[in-house]
Structure 1
Amino acid sequence: MIKGVLVAVFAAVALFVMAGAVNNTSAATWHQGTPKILRGKWRTKVARLSGVTGRAHLHITKHALTNSPKFPPQDPNYSNKLHYRYLGKHVYSIVGREYNNAPAGGLKIHFLAKVYSHHKIYFKQVNGRSDGNGVFYKY
């Protein structure tokens, strides 16, 4: 009887130790590049401000992102060295570096993207110019 209890206790301890060694993926994991669902060419609907019309454009590749705002000056921003994490409810946080007219090492840039469907997303630049924020459609 004592032998059976010792074997059961040893088996329980071994199982507990082995269960703790299993690697679980958490939601806070950062992944290299951009999410596949966001890759492609995107643009907003035509907007009008003080008689000037324009639309924002967004081009997302595996490792880079180019976004140009709706209204002049339409100097596109190019960001690379991207990595992302999934925040839940179809929302992604994307962080990278922007080297356009930036000091050595670039500037850290942060984006949020919410996916509504394969053809519609909401894209927001958290730090920086907000003229390019809005709902984008794939083209």
Structure 2
Amino acid sequence: MKTKTMIATVLLTAGLGFGAVSITASAASWHKGSPKFTRGIWNDSYKYPKGAMCDGLSISSHLLVMDDNSPHLSNLHYKVVGHHEYRFRGYEFELRRYQTTCKFHWFNKHHVRFYEDNGYGGLEHIDLYKVG
């Protein structure tokens, strides 16, 4: 009788242990488009008059364009990689089969830092300020 009770206890404990395994959702998944607060025009200085030549970045819901067209990404996706840090992924506009990623660090609603691959395995960054 004691062996039946012990076997039942072991089976019940093992059954509860297997049922307690939980599946967590992945927080670092790719989302379509761009976050709403990143959209707009960003320039390398807030002091330039409107229409002046400067380095800038334009982000719409599904397109990211740098003034010199180096990262011109379409079919834009993003994911959160850290506190106020986002990674964008998209297809290069001229060569649609190549995917490129770039990083975006948001400091506040007026100031961001944009990182892009320099072609030598490193990242170059530029501080940008919101226009308007």
**TM norm structure 2:** 0.69
Give the distance between the partners of 1:77 and 1:25, measured in 2 at CA: 28
Cα pair 1:46 1:54 within 8 Å, conserved? no
Query: Does 2:88 match 1:91?
Result: no
Counterpart of 1:65? 64
Q: Which amino acid aligns with 1:59?
A: S
Give the distance between the partners of 1:41 and 1:13, measured in 2 at CA: 58
Deviates more, 1:14-23 or 1:109-118: 14-23
Deviation of 1:25 (Å): 2.3
Q: What SS is found at the alignment partner of 1:54?
A: coil
Structure of higher CA gyration radius: 2
**TM norm structure 1:** 0.66
Computed over aligned residues only, the root mean square deviation of the Cα atoms, in angstroms, reads 3.1
Query: Does 2:113 match 1:137?
Result: no
* CA separation of 1:64 and 1:15: change in aligned 2, threshold 3 A: farther
Q: Which amino acid aligns with 2:66?
A: N
Number of equivalent positions:
121
Gaps spanning 5+ residues in structure 2: where?
Answer: none
Counterpart of 1:82? 76
Gaps spanning 5+ residues in structure 1: where?
Answer: 48-52, 70-74
